[in-house]
Amino acid sequence: MQKLYLPYKLLSQIPVKHICKSIVVGSITQTTLKHSFNSWRSYHGFLANAHLRNQSKKFIDHVLFMRSQLQRRGYQVHRYNTPRYNWRSSIPTADNVVLGLISANVAVFMLWRYLDTSFMRKHFMISVENVRNGRVHTMITSAFSHIDVGHLLSNMIGLYFFGSSIGRYLGPEFLLKLYLAGALGGSIFYLVQHAFMSPISKGSGMWYEDPKKVEGLGASGAVNAILLLDIFLFPTKVIYLWLVIPVPAFLVGAFIIGTDLKRMTEKDSRVSGAGHLGGAAVAVLAWARIRRGRF
């Protein structure tokens, strides 16, 4: 989480058996008639007419085409020829959730370029003052908010790789909940720290910044929850730092947590170690529940 001090988707099958089915297109009405041998001969002779046979073939071809279109659009044509929506196609995949979260972050990033800055600071940045003024939604919206391109890219790269891993292992719904929980955890830790901090001295001490008014934003807390949970679950996997240097996952996790503890104790004025540690706390809780079989 980054701190800021300034203004940012019939078949009509003629059966080969001795049963004739009369089917009403677009309805579930079905009539089954059993014929005698004479009836079958009459029926066979009826279709022997070349013109009628040609028309029947065209009709069957048309229905086959219609069925293929329905199936292509997510419908299943069952034995009673009633299209039924395939509800499983509406369930999002892990990749869809990851791309959706990235898209939301990019969208808010663009809003900073077009909307009034004071509006964005009130509704897409976290601070003690904002929450005191009733803007509690900023505890979530700030986790989708970035002003700096580098800040956005680093968080979205982490979200893409580690979010995809968690989503495939634990499911897309879990991934979405983990992101939101990490966002909330990061905001809570950020607020607690800034509610009890002493005023921050600037420069030679000529003026002070009230910590309750210091604003923060970024998906770091949410991404930290996802990244660290993946490390807790797979501590021996290899992570490539900067996409080049191979490092065991547990060492990366230890480095991240250690760095954030240092930032918090030193009251880093640019990066909120507390916000990052809030995401780490969510990862620990999620890992403990999974270990106990409560997932």
Q: Is the pLDDT of residue 115 over 70?
A: yes
Q: Print the SS3 string covering 40-85.
A: HHHHHHHHHCHHHHHHHHHHHHHHHHHHHHHHHCCEEECCCCCEEE
Q: Looking at residues 148-165, what average pLDDT do you find?
A: 95
- pLDDT category at 264 given cuts 50, 70, 90 is confident
Whether 41 shows a pLDDT value over 50: the answer reads no
The answer to whether residue 146 is catalytic is: no
User: Are residues 132 and 258 both part of a single domain?
Assistant: yes
**Same domain (yes/no): 254, 277:** yes
- Pick from 33, 65, 89: which residue ends a domain? 89
Residue 154 lies in a domain: yes
Most confident of 18-22, 233-237, 267-271: 233-237
Q: Which domain holds residue 33?
A: 19-89
Average pLDDT over residues 165-190: 96
| DSSP track, 111-124 | HHHHS-HHHHHHHS
51 assigned to active site: no
Regarding predicted confidence, which is higher, 239 or 92? 239
- Check residue 243 and give its pLDDT: 76
Res 57: pLDDT: 60
Q: Which segments of 75-146 are extended strands (E)?
A: 75-77, 83-85
**49 pLDDT tier (thresholds 50, 70, 90):** low
Last residue of a domain, one of 70, 89, 108: 89
Query: Considering the chain, what is the average pLDDT of its residues?
Result: 77
Cβ-contact 225, 275 below 8 angstroms: no
Residue 211's pLDDT band (boundaries 50, 70, 90)?
A: confident
pLDDT at 273: 84
Query: Is residue 132 included in any domain, yes or no?
Result: yes
- For residues 76 and 165, state if they share a domain: no
For residue 13, tell me if it sits in a domain. no
Between 242 and 34, whose confidence is greater? 242
pLDDT number for residue 212: 86
Q: What percent of the chain has pLDDT over 70?
A: 64
Please check whether residues 216 and 253 belong to one and the same domain. yes
What pLDDT, on a 0 to 100 scale, did the predictor assign at position 207? 47
* pLDDT for residue 127 is more than 50: yes
143 and 54 assigned to the same domain: no
Instruction: Answer yes or no: is 114 within a domain.
Output: yes
Which position among 127, 164, 220, 272 bears the catalytic label?
220
Q: How confident is the model at residue 101 (pLDDT cuts 50, 70, 90)?
A: very high
Q: Give residue 68's pLDDT.
A: 62
The counts of H helices and E strands in the chain are: 11, 10
Say yes or no: 254 and 127 in one domain: yes
Greatest mean pLDDT among 6-20, 204-218, 224-238, 263-277: 224-238
pLDDT at 2: 67
66 shares its domain with 108: no
Would you say residue 9 has pLDDT above 50?
no
How high is the pLDDT of residue 78?
Answer: 44
Average pLDDT score over residue span 2-15: 45
| Domain stop point among 73, 89, 105 | 89
Domain count, the chain: 2
Identify whether residues 137 and 243 lie together within a single domain.
yes
pLDDT of residue 25: 35
pLDDT of residue 200: 59
The three-class DSSP label of residue 1 is coil
The pLDDT value given to residue 59: 60
Does 192 share its domain with 83? no
Residues 139, 38 share a domain: no
pLDDT digits (tens, 9 = 90+) for 219-233: 999 999 999 999 999
- What is the helix, strand, coil percentage profile of the chain, to 5? 60, 15, 25
